[in-house]
Amino acid sequence: MNSYGTFSERGYEIFSATLLSPLRELRQGLFEQVRRMVSYHGESEEEFFNGFHRYGLTGAELNRVRLAAVNYFTQTKAAREIFRAVEEPLVRLLGPDIAVQKTCNVVVQQPGDTDQAPIHRDAPSNSHFELIAWIPLVDVYKTKGMFVLNREHSSRALAKLKRGESFQDFCAYTKEHSEPIEVSFGSVCLIQSGLAHGVPLNEESQTRWSLNVRFKNLFSPYGDKGLGDFFEVLQLSPLSKIAFEFSRQEFEPFEP
Ligand SMILES: [Fe+2]
């Protein structure tokens, strides 16, 4: 347990990677990809990512970098690597049969960038039976990070909406009561999909690079994003492996 409390209390929790090498390798690979795009000749990943705003990329240029990053993480099956880094808490929270989002989302939040995702909850539309894994690639603090409204306050915020209060009231409540996620590289924040969350205006002097990807129990209810189109099987329990083999055989046509 850390100062943020446990997952059951808060609906989210920050976990230190039990295996740091997958996160290190992902960041190093991204560094090699992106440094070429902007002709960075230094060797420090921290300096490069934190200082990325010095290249002044916006709009289509910035999007080109972001898409290259998404492609890189898709090709390297980054979600599976992230699973290796925090396998213990993920299996504890989800059980052994796990589905994972096929692609990783990449966010580059430069200082003063007003292009931020609005305050929202992933569920509904996504299922409530999902965990958002939020993985900073640089140390985040204060407004360089994100904020999450814990379980109790998210429930109160939802009650406001159900009473007919406006979305603006919902956002104001979220901003007032949410907690900033301040973590070092090497930690992963796991967030239940019904919690309200958002991104402050980055008022620090460093750029934030972060990934987010969703994990769920394979047999849990799905929302708008289903198995096959959005999620894929990550791992099966010993029983599920045998069960799927038999199930397949039951439906195979008989060949004498
Ligand atoms: Fe979200």
Ligand 1 centre to CA of 218 (Å) is 20
- Sign of the dihedral through C-alpha 122, 125, 130, 135: negative
Ligand 1 centre to CA of 99 (Å) is 18
Q: What is the pTM of this model?
A: 0.93
Per-residue pLDDT of the chain (256 residues; tens, 9 = 90+): 444 469 999 999 999 999 999 999 999 999 999 999 998 888 899 999 999 999 999 999 999 999 999 999 999 999 999 999 999 999 999 999 999 999 999 999 999 998 888 999 999 999 999 999 999 999 999 999 999 999 999 999 999 999 999 999 999 999 999 999 999 999 999 999 999 999 999 999 999 999 999 999 999 999 999 999 999 999 999 999 999 999 999 988 877 7
Q: What whole-number distance in Å separates Cα of residue 97 and Cα of residue 235?
A: 6
Pairing verdict, β 187-192 and 12-16: antiparallel
Domain ranges (residues) in the chain: 10-236
Predicted local distance difference test score (pLDDT) of residue 1: 43
Ligand 1 centre to CA of 54 (Å) is 27
* Amino acid symbol at 44: S
Instruction: Specify whether the CB–CB gap between 199 and 140 falls below 8 A.
Output: no
- Residue whose token pair is 């289903």: 226
Ligand 1 centre to CA of 191 (Å) is 9
Ligand 1 centre to CA of 140 (Å) is 17
Q: Please tell me the CATH code under which domain 10-236 is placed.
A: 2.60.120.620
Ligand 1 centre to CA of 164 (Å) is 23
Give the H or E element holding residue 15.
Answer: strand 12-16
